Amino acid sequence: PARVFESEENCLDAILAGKIQAGDVIVIRYEGPKGGPGMREMLAPTSAIIGAGLGDSVGLITDGRFSGGTYGMVVGHVAPEAQVGGTIALVKEGDSITIDAQNRWLQLNVSEQELEQRRASWQPPQPRYTRGVLAKYAKLVSSSSIGAVTDLGLG
């Protein structure tokens, strides 16, 4: 079942408190280029999963990023990210998720009708930053699927 967290910190707290079990699929959202902002690396949660002895029995899906040394069933750079209403924003606690790494396939096992209802009621959260360089970055950055760049086409 999906275990849904709105931030890396909330997820880490749950792992360290022993609230994650074998078979869970952790979903950490709102950590993508716009939501993070900056596509934060999920090193702390992945390390905690390994430290808890769950590296071979727990999945982790995020719109954040991983380093090259990440171990386990992890799916990162999910796009469109949660902050802009991607499907990852519609996942609910307890949803069934299938990860087929061999075929590079990720499936939220919820009917299209249910997804449409969730999409219709979804509201974007307030940005983490409303002033300063991180607010500007979040406003300008593109999707991770095209490089998470801030190219304004001025060059």
Nearest to 124 by CA among 90, 95, 149: 90
Q: Catalytic residue numbers?
A: 67
* Alpha-helical segments (H) within 17-99: 43-51
State the Cα–Cα distance between residues 35 and 138, nearest whole angstrom: 7
Q: Which residue has the tokens 């990720």?
A: 106
User: Which residues is 141 bridged to in the sheet?
Assistant: none
Tokens linked to 153 = 């086409």
